[in-house]
Structure 1
Amino acid sequence: MKLMCQERLKRQKEAVANRMKKLEAKQNEIKKKASEIRNNIERKYEEMRRVLEEDCRITLSLLEMEEQATVRALDDLIERNCSVFSDIEFQLSEGLMESEAQSEDMVTELQDRVEELLIVTDPSLVKLDEVKAEQILDLTNNLLLFIRSQTPITKRLLKSCLTEVSLDPNTAHPKLIISPSQDCVTFTNEWQDVSENDARFDTTLNVLSHQSWDSGRHYWVVDVRGKVYWELGLTYPSIPRKGRKEDCWLGRNKGSWCVEFFDGDYTAWHDGKSHPLPIGTHFNRIGIFCSFPAGLVMFLGEDSMTPLFAFCVGTFTEHLQLALCPGHDLQGCNSQPIKICHAAHPKC
């Protein structure tokens, strides 16, 4: 009997050891793939930088060449004026001719030279091709506007995943007011006259979305401006909703993932484990991205697309719903609502 138990333990040990090897191999594979992707992206950005630098060099060289040609032309005109100016000074210093007729002829000759000189050296005749320069500037500005419209790349990618969502009043805590459009939630000290049902949170100030998802990639933007406390995240429908246990809170159980903002500090939560985030910026909008193929939940400061935290879940076992908690009003300091930015109008 003892030998049989030992054999079973050996097989179990071998199975665990093989699984560890496979996990390590998968880890190395993911690191290698991620490194290749990063290197490819870096090479593309480096190539774009070289293309822009070369275009800038060519454009500036052209303008510099035109500038040098114009300056040289003006140098020649200045030199011609200096020559005549010296002749006049010489005549003044040496005095006029003894013969009045000779003096008159000399003055007349200089006068003719000066008049011709003033005509051919008119500064308005020498100019840069300002029309072309303005065209170059306009094209450069258009290029800048185009680049800005395309970046950051992640913003364009995530915006393409924007998913319409509405809040379910039947899940809202009785001290939460859901707007008629079902895209805004506000805390109130007054207990609302709402029906009791199994879906409603009765202690934690949560509300869930009508919709749920089990495939694809999705992105939501939530406006939290004016708030000093809030919680945002995704949850399985099986999240506990009754009682005072902490597992009713977002991120304090195995079936929900959230980021909390309180008194200037951001914290990511899942399965009761907190991850304080070293971020000092107070964002007005928070982005929540979910990828079912990657088993990923990611939070961003949407104002500048700043990554906040990412959870790698692996495989989701249930549908997911968007979950919001506006928090107590904290004596009026946190009375602003939380608002969902719609896909058609992502900027609230």
Structure 2
Amino acid sequence: MEERAAVSALDGLMERNCSLIQEIEQDLARLTLALDQTDTEPDTMSFFSYPEQEDMETADRVIDLLNQTDPSSVSLDEAKAEQIISLTNNMLLLICSQTPMIKKLIKSYSSEVCLDPETAHPKLIISPQGDSATYTDTWQQLPDLPGRFDTTLNVISLQGFSFGRHYWEIDVTGKTYWELGVTYPNIPRKGTTEDCWLGRGPESWCVEFFDGEYTAWHGGVPHQLPFTKRFCRIGVLCSFPAGLVMFLEADKMTPLFAFCTGTFSDCLYLAVCPGHDHNGNNAKPIVICNPSSANRDL
């Protein structure tokens, strides 16, 4: 009953908000028109006084709504506060109980990929199975192919995907520096341009771990993530129907960050960067966990 009452109250508040937003939009439209019709700088308060009665009521409603939604104005007695805390804890327990189901659903989108050695930077060693990349301080004598990264320590998957939903898990155990994500095939691969780095251009999306900090990147825009724990497995979920790229902590399926692009304009490839040695602390490989091994964990 309390839940129904709360939902009903929220529905009423949403209706009031929508109505208020419409009124504010009308007021803004009238203000814009007034600004277009005058050559002098308008007095801001004059807008709220013409017509005085109607607009003052609108302003009062805005102030009243802000006051109602101010968290500092909420007052609860001890019993009600305990009920809300208990309800919150129960909701968290419910969400946690659904983790196995969520994990099974997401892992059902697992797609097998292998890394393309012809795209790998010469200081990356790609395993024969194509499931891992390891940094080496030795520049390998490899053919300078058009698709090979020659400055950034990147390698992309041999397989590309253009529809459906796909999920990959990457093992980053013991690493202090790595980048992983998805990219269009036209990501720049030569020279020192910043767009060659994952997430720095419009062609790729990634999460980076460096010096104990997580950062999500796309289009050169960094998003600092509020995590400090060194995760062992990172999940990458790509949904073409939703236009979504999501990064998760794979064990508990904790979302790290999601990019909502709307529509993808090309095929997507998994991309990884195991990072340099990072003061001798980053020798471990970055490993793609294939679907068969992921299913054994269910």
- Do these two structures clear the TM 0.5 threshold for a shared fold by scoring above it? yes
Q: Deviations over 1:13-65 (max 9, x none)?
A: xxxxxxxxxxxxxxxxxxxxxxxxxxxxxxxxx9xx8xxxxxxxxxxxxxxxx
Structure-2 separation of matches of 1:306 and 1:235: 23
SS in 1 for 2:293: coil
Structure-2 separation of matches of 1:301 and 1:151: 12
Does 2:208 align with 1:260?
A: yes
Structure-2 separation of matches of 1:151 and 1:274: 29
CA contact (8 A) 2:99 2:253 kept: no
Q: 5 Å matches for 1:283-322? A: 283-322=231-270
The alignment's TM-score, normalised by the length of structure 2, stands at: 0.66
Structure-1 separation of matches of 2:175 and 2:194: 23
Cross-structure match for 2:274:
326
Q: 5 Å matches for 1:185-224? A: 185-224=133-172
Cα offset for 1:152? 2.9
Q: Deviations over 1:116-168 (max 9, x none)?
A: xxxxxxxxxxxxxxxxxxxxxxxxxxxxxxx97x7432211111001100000
Structure-2 separation of matches of 1:332 and 1:221: 25
Structure-2 separation of matches of 1:234 and 1:294: 15
Structure-2 separation of matches of 1:181 and 1:239: 24
Structure-2 separation of matches of 1:304 and 1:151: 7
Cross-structure match for 2:217:
269
Structure-2 separation of matches of 1:209 and 1:186: 15
CA contact (8 A) 2:245 2:259 kept: yes
Q: Deviations over 1:265-296 (max 9, x none)?
A: 00000000000001122110000000000000
The answer to which structure has the higher helix fraction is 1
Does 2:184 align with 1:184?
A: no
CA contact (8 A) 2:165 2:240 kept: yes
Cα offset for 1:236? 0.2
Cα offset for 1:303? 2.1
SS in 2 for 1:344: helix
CA contact (8 A) 2:167 2:235 kept: yes
Amino acid at match of 1:298: M
Q: 5 Å matches for 1:1-348? A: 151-346=99-294
Amino acid at match of 2:282: N
Aligned length: 204
Structure-1 separation of matches of 2:183 and 2:271: 7
CA contact (8 A) 2:246 2:257 kept: yes
Structure-2 separation of matches of 1:262 and 1:332: 14
Q: Which stretches of structure 1, 4 residues or longer, exceed 2 Å deviation after superposition?
A: 150-153
Q: Aligned-pair RMSD on alpha carbons? A: 1.9
SS in 1 for 2:291: coil
Structure-2 separation of matches of 1:174 and 1:328: 12
Structure-2 separation of matches of 1:208 and 1:199: 10
Amino acid at match of 1:344: S
Structure-2 separation of matches of 1:274 and 1:156: 31
Unaligned runs of 5+ in 2: 1-86, 91-95
Structure-2 separation of matches of 1:151 and 1:314: 27
Cross-structure match for 2:5:
none
Structure-2 separation of matches of 1:229 and 1:303: 20
Cross-structure match for 2:65:
none
CA contact (8 A) 2:213 2:225 kept: yes
Cα offset for 1:330? 1.8
Say which one has the larger Rg: 1
